[in-house]
Each structure stands twice: as structure tokens, then as C-alpha cells.
């Protein structure tokens, strides 16, 4: 009887959630729209009946929640809400895409197809996530709503991740930080981006997340009081200027506070701008700009601004359409406060991104932004059918979170490029053929090399020649996906032509020394000369790198070489490196069974005993151990989750490891000597190297020391921080 009552209650709950969804739809929803949503809801209920989520609740709760985010947080139309309700139907039930088209229409079929994962991939397939992501992006060509619904789906999955196993949480959290949060940022969905980042941090660095959340909560009361004190005089002056406004004070996200702490090597207490004030104006489109600057003038009448912290994204909006005026002023009690000034239209675009752009485009209250340009770049990127899925993902991500610069053509047209773009990136941005034929560029009237990095405000003229062709060296200084793609494509075409000639040359050479031209011989040649593919082999023959003498040597050594190859393949790889002999010091165990396996420490983050670490199974170098906060951790856990091994320290030996400390401070006579005295005499730490640069009364330097474990390293850092004049001590990642 109890189960019947529970089912009855669940059915009532489903109806309550559906009604809440309808209330979340915008006021322009028609009777026909409601019929469409109801039809999608009924089909989804049928498709997911008797199915439950890991948490134990009915599966239908998930599509309703995704539709709620699509309706309320993004503000999309009835078609999008219907697709959100149907997004898992084809993947998880007997319904097919043809069934969806018959019940609805071809447009809904296309969107659902974009949201349905590619079948045939195993959980272990390295590119499954990347391929599915690329498939989803293909729909951007004619319907960006697929990506917006996918972001809503990811957000609800992150909100309900507690019921998943720890490893699954880390994988999904890493994917979210690696791709989905940057994608939400680029599409202008600020609130969704912020929540995805915070939830991503919650599951990739849970202790850090809890610690910052606790400290934010403890300082909440004082923060609210300070915001009231700061805004009181502003409200009075803004009313006197007859401005129609509202003021919000909001804390910075946990993720952004963590990022600042990590990048600057500071504690929570040292982060000065833990909140921002937002002033939202009710202005007519034609008065938006003067109203915002008038508000800025009022603020600076009360508080002194920091001239280096003024950001005008009203005159020149960001690539995702974001418009706002930011300033940082000195508030009461000597505290810096960030103030954001924007209109209601700008605020809606900032929160709801592309969906709000679409809405304002329909009503005519729209300012043309750069978002369409970005979508065109994605279309360009998707044109390369031969690109590896993981490489595609890396290239796509390059332009997601990049800061922008604004440069001008000779005619004065404005172009937006990622920060760090070269003159060659500019040429490719204008046109692919212009980039391919680029000989040089003039920046502000002066001829500069193609590798020259552009700055905002530069005016660039491209000099081209039809005889010029892309070179491999160009890949070293271009940053945009379009330029890289076009250069690689051109080089690949040229390589194929040379390889075809090389194949014919090799066939003649083998015939001359009486060896057959077949798959076995080609495979032997590839292994003997250590090529990756037959294309590389044929190419080197074509350009003359692999010559007659070398091929004759291969033929002569074929039999004896077989024994060498056998030894090389079956020889157990060494796990030794300069700093760690892990065959002797097995301090880590791996997996649920806590197995002792050979491993080596990754040089990119140089773990030491006691660090929070994980194992990563590489193809050629066995298990590499990385710190959880390694710069590469999110990428590895996102793209290669099945290769991640849980790692546990079971023994801290006396083995010592390299650690590089980055120290900063106020220079004074004897300071460096005092630091070395503490390390060598007091703490008995072995200093491998020390490099200090002093300038204008401050110093900045690196000290490489040998320590046994994390606890001892903390003691060392705490001791150095106590030295008078030291302002910052933090552990540094190795570059590369």
C-alpha cells in the first residue's frame, strides 16, 4: 500500500513541477505554445515511465528541471522548452528520431538529434566526449538553441551530482570547467557560467570549495552592512539626478575567489574585492550611454576611482555582446569596491546571453554585437572533416575564454581578436586566402614581422603575394583556431602531394634491392625508422630525408633488427627520473585495491609526498602522478577520465623532492641572507638554487629546495613568511 501512496504522491509532484514550468514561461506564450509543451511533456512522461535517477527520484524530474532552466534562466521559446522536455527520449527509450518528427516537426527532430549522444562509443573511448561535443556544435550552423539546451542539461546534472560516485563527480566536474563553463561565458550566460564554475570547483576541489564557502558565510553580515553604508549616499545623489535605478550588492563567486587566490598566491583574507555593486538603470535605448556615464560621474563625486580599473564595454562590447561600465573606487574604511553600471537591457543580455540578444533583435532594441562573428568562426572550424576530435576540442577551447583586443583595418573597420593574436592571425581573420598569401604586415604604418603581437587600437594593413604559401613555422605564433586550421590544412595538402611522389620513389627503390612493396615491408620500415604513419614515411622519402643508403641498411639489418625490436617492445619501462627512484620508494598505492604500481612524478607540477594527487596512465611512459591542482588536471580528467587512477599515500619516506618557491617582498640589506639562514641553519633544508632580482626597492625571486613531504613544506613556507619584508611565498608550477 505504501508504494501505491508514494507513486500517487510522485504523480502529484510531477504535475506540480509541470505547472511551475508553465508559470516560468514568458508572458508572450500562446495557447498553441502551451499545446506543444503539453504534448512534449506527455511523450516524455511515457518514454521515462518506471525509470529512476541515481538519487532514486523519477527520471521525468530531470527533463522538467532542464525545461525550467531553459524557460526561466535563459528565457527561450516554446520550441526550446519542448525540446528540453524531450532531450533524453531518443537516447534512453524506444522512441526514434522518426517518431519525434512524426509527432512534432523536422525542426524539433534536428534539435533532438543534436542533443542525442553518438551511439557506438564505449566508456573507454578517448574521443567519445569530444566527438559528441563536435556533433552538438554542428547544429550551431542553423540552430544555436541546441547548445543552450545542452548547457541547461549540464547545469541540472551538476546541481544533482551528489548521488554520483566520487570518480564520476570528478570527471563530470572537470568536463564542466574545461568546456561547458567557458561555453556559457562565450554565449553570454553569466549566471549559468558562474553556477557551473562553482559546482565544478565543488567536485574537483571539494575541501577548497567548502573552506571558501564557509568563510564567505562567516563574513556575510559584515559584507551586507558595508554595502548598505557604501550605497546610502549614492542612492540619494542618483535620485537628485532623476535617474531611475536599482542597486544590487553581490558576492564574487567562490570559483573567482579561488582563481584569484591561486593566481596571486594569496589567502582568502587578502582578496580585497569579494563583492561588487551593480547599478541597473531603467533607460531608453537612445539614452543608455549618457545615463551610464552620468551615473559614473555621480559615483566618482563620492568615491575616488582607480584610473587603471576603468572598463568601458558600452562603447566597445565584448565578443559575447556583454555591455557594462566597470570602475573600482576607494570606499569607506580604505576598501576597494568594484561598481558595475548598466541598463536593464544590458543586464538581461549579461544574464541570459544569446537568448536575450535574440529577443531584443525581434523587438528592435538591439545593438549589433560580435557574437555572430564568433558563431561564424565555429562554422569555419567545423569545416575541417579530418581534424582529430580531441585536437578539435583543444582548438575550440582556445577561443572560448580568451580576452579580446580591438584592432582596425586600413579603412577603419573594427575587428575583434583574442588577446595575444599576431599580425598573421589578423590576415586570416580578414580572409583565409589573404592569410595564406600573407608576406608581411604594416602596423600603424610600420612594417613588422608576421609574428608581431597586436595591441588594442592598432591599425593593420596586410601585404600579400600569390607566390606565398603557408609555412610550418607559422603555427608557432598564431593563436586563433581559424588561422591554425587553415595553416594545418594547407600543410597537410602539400604533405600528401609530396608523400604520393615519395610512395612511387620508395616502390622503385625496394624493387631495385629485390624487396616487395607490401604492407609487411611498409610496417617494418615504419617501426625501423620510428615513424608514426606510412604518410610520414612516404613524405620523408619524397623530400630526400630517407635516402638510398638508409633503405639498403634496413634491408641488410632486417633479421638482426627483429630481435632488437622484440627486446624494445617487451622491456619494462624504467620509472626512474632525475629526482625520484620509485622502484625503491613505493609511497603511493593506486585504485580501490590499493595496488603498488610503478610510477613517476609529472614534471609539470612536481608532486611531493602528502600532496593531493592522482595517477594518469600514459601511452608510452607508464603511470604519471599529478597534483590535483596541476594546471593540466582539469584537461586530463575531462578528456581521459578512464585513464585516471585514484592515488593514496601510505608511507612518507625520507626521500626528498624538488620544490620551487616564488618569493616577493620589500628589499632591504641582509634579507636574502636571513632567508637562507632560516632554511639552512634553523630548518636544515637543502637549497639547490637561489635566484633573486631586485628593482626599485622590491625583489622577486625563485628558491629551489629539497623537502620530504607536504607538512614539512608548509612549515618552511610559514617560516619564510615571518621574515620582515616578505610579502608573498608560494609554490610554483614548472612551465611546459
Grid coordinates given for 521: 615491408
Q: What is the DSSP letter of 630?
A: -
- Which comes out higher in pLDDT, residue 388 or 584? 388
617 neighbors 623 (Cβ within 8 angstroms): yes
Determine the pLDDT at residue 583. Answer: 37
Measured CA to CA, the distance from residue 275 to residue 178 in angstroms comes to 25
Q: Residue 3's pLDDT band (boundaries 50, 70, 90)?
A: very low
Determine the CATH number of domain 657-731: 3.30.70.260
Given phi > 0 = left and psi -120 to 50 = alpha, else beta, which region is 333?
Answer: left
Q: Residue 376's pLDDT band (boundaries 50, 70, 90)?
A: low
User: How far is C-alpha 591 from the chain's CA centre?
Assistant: 28
Dihedral pair phi/psi, residue 627, rounded to 5°: -70, 150
pLDDT of 425 higher than 80: yes
Burial of 165 (0-12, 13-18, 19+ CB in 10 A): exposed
Grid coordinates given for 553: 641498411
Residues near 66 by beta carbon (within 8 Å), at least 6 away in sequence: 84, 85, 87, 149, 152, 153, 156
How confident is the model over 369-391, as a mean pLDDT? 55
Buried b or exposed e, range 119-154, using 16+ CB within 10 angstroms = eeeeeeebbbbbbbbbbbbebbeebbbbbbbbbbbb
Measured CA to CA, the distance from residue 104 to residue 151 in angstroms comes to 23
pLDDT of 167 higher than 90: no
Range in 14-18, 336-340, 563-567, 624-628 with the lowest mean pLDDT: 563-567
How confident is the model over 692-713, as a mean pLDDT? 80
Q: Which pLDDT tens digit goes with each residue over 511-534?
A: 888 888 888 888 888 887 878 888
Closest CA to 730 of 719, 717, 715, 713: 717
Grid coordinates given for 446: 610600420
Q: Residue 288's pLDDT band (boundaries 50, 70, 90)?
A: very high
Determine the pLDDT at residue 388. Answer: 53
- Which comes out higher in pLDDT, residue 363 or 309? 309
Determine the pLDDT at residue 578. Answer: 41
Grid coordinates given for 91: 537516447
How confident is the model over 133-161, as a mean pLDDT? 78
How confident is the model over 637-662, as a mean pLDDT? 75
Q: Which candidate in 92, 162, 372, 718 is catalytic? A: 92
| 3-class SS letters over 5-64 | HHHHHHHHHHHHHHHHHHHHCCCCCCHHHHHHHHHHHHHHHHHCCCCECCCCCECCHHHH
pLDDT of 268 higher than 80: yes
Closest CA to 501 of 541, 545, 551: 541
pLDDT of 386 higher than 80: no
Measured CA to CA, the distance from residue 384 to residue 614 in angstroms comes to 35
Dihedral pair phi/psi, residue 547, rounded to 5°: -105, -175
91 is catalytic: yes
Measured CA to CA, the distance from residue 135 to residue 110 in angstroms comes to 12
CATH class of 2-204: mainly alpha
- The C-alpha cell 522548452 sits at 81
Q: For the chain, give every domain's residue range.
A: 2-204, 215-363, 386-488, 588-649, 657-731
Q: Which candidate in 91, 162, 553, 581 is catalytic? A: 91
Q: Residue 189's pLDDT band (boundaries 50, 70, 90)?
A: confident
Burial of 703 (0-12, 13-18, 19+ CB in 10 A): buried
Measured CA to CA, the distance from residue 428 to residue 459 in angstroms comes to 15
Q: What is the pTM of this model?
A: 0.66
524 is catalytic: no
Q: Which pLDDT tens digit goes with each residue over 448-501?
A: 888 899 988 889 999 888 888 888 889 888 988 788 888 888 888 888 888 888
pLDDT of 382 higher than 60: no
Determine the pLDDT at residue 67. Answer: 94
- The C-alpha cell 620513389 sits at 505
Determine the pLDDT at residue 231. Answer: 92
Q: Residue 142's pLDDT band (boundaries 50, 70, 90)?
A: low
pLDDT averaged over every residue in the chain? 81
423 neighbors 454 (Cβ within 8 angstroms): yes
pLDDT of 668 higher than 70: yes
Grid coordinates given for 664: 616577493
Determine the CATH number of domain 386-488: 3.10.20.30
Determine the pLDDT at residue 573. Answer: 40
- Which comes out higher in pLDDT, residue 174 or 352? 174
Other beta carbons within 10 Å of 377:
19
Q: Which pLDDT tens digit goes with each residue over 218-249?
A: 988 988 899 999 999 999 999 999 999 999 88
Measured CA to CA, the distance from residue 303 to residue 230 in angstroms comes to 9
Measured CA to CA, the distance from residue 134 to residue 481 in angstroms comes to 14
Determine the pLDDT at residue 16. Answer: 92
85 neighbors 37 (Cβ within 8 angstroms): yes
Which strands make up the sheet holding 726-731, listed edge to edge? 686-695, 698-707, 657-666, 726-731
Determine the pLDDT at residue 212. Answer: 93
> What is the tally of helices (H) and strands (E) in the chain?
29, 20
Determine the pLDDT at residue 197. Answer: 94
Quick one: CATH architecture of 215-363? 2-Layer Sandwich (3.30)
**% of the chain exceeding 70 in pLDDT:** 83
Determine the pLDDT at residue 120. Answer: 44
Buried b or exposed e, range 654-668, using 16+ CB within 10 angstroms = ebbbbbbbebebebe
Q: Which pLDDT tens digit goes with each residue over 562-593?
A: 444 444 443 334 434 444 444 334 468 887 66
- Which comes out higher in pLDDT, residue 392 or 53? 53
Q: Which pLDDT tens digit goes with each residue over 66-120?
A: 999 998 888 888 898 999 999 999 888 888 999 999 999 888 988 888 887 655 4
Q: Residue 128's pLDDT band (boundaries 50, 70, 90)?
A: low
CA distances from residue 285 to 346, 356, 363, 380, 705 in whole angstroms, order as listed: 10, 15, 12, 33, 60
Range in 16-30, 318-332, 511-525, 566-580 with the lowest mean pLDDT: 566-580
pLDDT of 736 higher than 60: no
pLDDT of 393 higher than 80: no
Total count of residues recorded for the chain: 736
Measured CA to CA, the distance from residue 502 to residue 423 in angstroms comes to 35
Measured CA to CA, the distance from residue 66 to residue 156 in angstroms comes to 6
Instruction: Say whether 660 sits in a helix, a strand or coil.
Output: strand
Strands (E), 631-719: 644-649, 657-666, 686-695, 698-707
89 neighbors 100 (Cβ within 8 angstroms): yes
Most confident option among 58-62, 317-321, 534-538: 58-62
Measured CA to CA, the distance from residue 62 to residue 46 in angstroms comes to 14
Q: Residue 121's pLDDT band (boundaries 50, 70, 90)?
A: very low
- Which comes out higher in pLDDT, residue 648 or 584? 648
Amino acid at each position: 500500500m505504501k508504494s501505491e501512496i508514494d507513486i500517487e504522491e510522485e504523480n502529484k509532484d510531477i504535475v506540480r513541477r509541470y505547472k511551475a514550468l508553465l508559470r516560468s514561461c514568458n508572458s508572450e506564450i500562446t495557447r498553441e505554445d502551451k499545446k506543444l509543451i503539453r504534448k512534449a511533456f506527455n511523450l516524455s512522461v511515457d518514454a521515462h515511465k518506471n525509470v529512476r535517477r541515481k538519487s532514486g527520484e523519477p527520471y521525468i524530474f530531470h527533463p522538467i528541471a532542464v525545461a525550467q532552466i531553459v524557460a526561466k534562466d535563459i528565457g527561450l521559446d516554446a520550441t526550446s522548452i519542448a525540446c528540453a522536455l524531450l532531450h533524453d527520449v531518443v537516447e534512453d527509450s524506444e522512441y526514434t528520431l522518426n517518431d519525434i518528427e512524426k509527432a512534432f516537426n523536422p525542426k524539433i527532430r534536428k534539435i533532438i538529434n543534436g542533443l542525442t549522444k553518438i551511439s557506438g562509443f564505449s566508456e573507454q573511448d578517448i574521443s567519445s566526449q569530444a566527438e559528441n561535443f563536435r556533433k552538438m556544435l554542428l547544429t550551431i550552423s542553423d540552430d544555436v538553441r541546441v547548445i543552450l539546451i545542452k548547457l541547461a542539461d549540464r547545469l541540472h546534472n551538476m546541481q544533482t551530482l551528489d548521488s554520483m560516485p566520487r570518480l564520476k563527480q570528478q570527471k563530470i566536474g572537470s568536463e564542466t570547467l574545461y568546456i561547458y563553463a567557458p561555453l556559457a561565458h562565450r554565449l553570454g550566460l553569466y549566471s549559468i557560467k558562474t553556477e557551473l564554475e562553482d559546482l565544478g570547483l565543488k567536485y574537483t576541489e571539494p575541501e577548497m570549495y567548502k573552506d571558501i564557502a564557509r568563510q564567505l558565510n562567516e563574513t556575510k553580515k559584515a559584507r551586507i552592512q558595508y554595502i548598505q553604508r557604501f550605497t546610502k549616499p549614492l542612492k540619494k545623489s542618483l535620485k537628485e539626478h532623476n535617474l531611475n535605478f536599482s542597486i544590487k550588492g553581490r558576492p564574487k563567486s567562490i570559483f573567482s575567489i579561488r582563481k584569484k587566490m591561486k593566481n596571486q598566491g594569496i589567502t582568502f583574507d587578502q582578496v580585497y574585492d569579494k563583492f561588487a555593486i551593480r547599478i541597473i538603470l531603467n533607460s531608453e535605448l537612445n539614452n543608455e550611454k549618457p545615463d551610464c556615464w552620468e551615473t559614473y560621474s555621480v559615483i566618482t563625486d563620492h568615491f575616488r576611482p582607480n584610473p587603471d580599473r576603468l572598463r568601458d564595454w558600452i562603447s566597445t562590447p565584448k565578443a559575447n555582446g556583454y555591455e557594462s561600465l566597470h570602475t573600482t573606487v576607494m570606499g569607506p574604511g580604505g576598501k576597494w569596491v568594484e561598481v558595475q553600471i548598466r541598463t536593464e537591457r544590458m543586464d538581461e543580455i549579461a544574464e541570459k546571453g544569446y537568448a536575450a540578444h535574440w529577443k531584443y533583435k525581434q523587438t528592435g532594441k538591439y545593438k549589433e554585437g560580435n557574437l555572430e562573428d564568433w558563431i561564424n568562426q565555429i562554422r569555419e572550424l567545423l569545416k575541417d572533416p579530418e581534424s582529430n576530435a580531441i585536437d578539435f576540442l583543444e582548438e575550440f577551447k582556445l577561443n572560448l575564454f580568451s580576452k579580446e583586443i580591438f584592432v582596425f583595418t586600413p579603412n577603419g573597420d573594427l575587428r575583434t581578436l583574442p588577446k595575444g593574436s599576431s599580425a598573421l592571425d589578423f590576415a586570416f581573420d580578414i580572409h583565409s586566402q589573404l592569410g595564406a598569401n600573407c608576406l608581411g604586415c604594416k602596423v600603424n604604418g610600420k612594417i613588422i614581422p608576421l609574428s608581431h603581437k597586436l595591441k588594442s587600437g592598432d591599425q593593420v594593413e596586410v601585404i600579400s603575394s600569390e607566390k606565398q604559401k603557408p609555412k610550418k613555422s607559422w603555427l608557432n605564433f598564431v593563436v586563433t583556431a581559424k588561422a591554425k586550421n587553415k595553416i594545418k590544412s594547407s600543410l597537410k595538402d602539400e604533405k600528401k602531394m609530396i608523400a604520393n611522389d615519395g610512395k612511387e620513389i620508395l616502390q622503385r627503390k625496394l624493387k631495385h634491392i629485390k624487396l616487395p612493396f607490401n604492407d609487411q615491408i611498409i610496417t617494418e620500415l615504419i617501426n625501423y625508422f620510428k615513424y608514426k604513419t606510412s604518410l610520414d614515411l612516404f613524405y620523408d622519402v619524397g623530400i630526400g630525408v630517407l635516402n638510398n643508403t638508409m633503405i639498403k641498411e634496413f634491408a641488410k639489418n632486417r633479421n638482426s633488427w627483429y630481435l632488437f625490436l622484440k627486446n624494445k617492445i617487451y622491456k619494462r619501462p624504467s620509472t626512474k627520473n632525475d629526482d625520484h627512484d620509485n622502484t625503491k620508494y613505493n609511497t603511493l598505492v593506486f585504485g580501490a585495491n590499493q595496488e603498488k604500481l610503478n610510477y613517476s612524478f609529472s614534471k609539470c607540477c612536481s608532486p611531493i609526498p602528502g600532496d593531493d594527487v592522482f595517477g594518469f596512465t600514459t601511452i608510452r611512459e607508464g603511470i604519471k602522478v599529478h597534483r590535483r591542482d596541476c594546471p593540466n588536471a582539469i584537461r586530463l580528467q575531462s578528456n581521459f577520465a578512464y585513464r585516471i587512477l585514484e592515488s593514496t599515500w601510505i608511507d612518507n619516506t625520507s626521500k626528498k623532492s624538488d620544490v620551487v618557491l616564488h618569493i616577493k617582498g620589500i628589499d632591504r640589506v641582509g634579507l636574502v641572507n636571513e632567508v637562507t639562514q632560516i632554511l639552512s641553519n634553523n630548518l636544515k633544508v637543502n637549497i639547490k638554487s637561489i635566484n633573486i632580482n631586485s628593482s626599485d626597492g622590491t625583489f622577486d625571486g625563485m628558491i629551489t629546495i629539497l623537502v620530504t613531504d607536504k607538512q614539512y613544506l608548509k612549515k618552511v613556507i610559514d617560516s619564510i613568511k615571518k621574515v620582515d619584508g616578505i610579502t608573498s611565498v608560494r609554490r610554483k608550477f614548472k612551465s611546459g
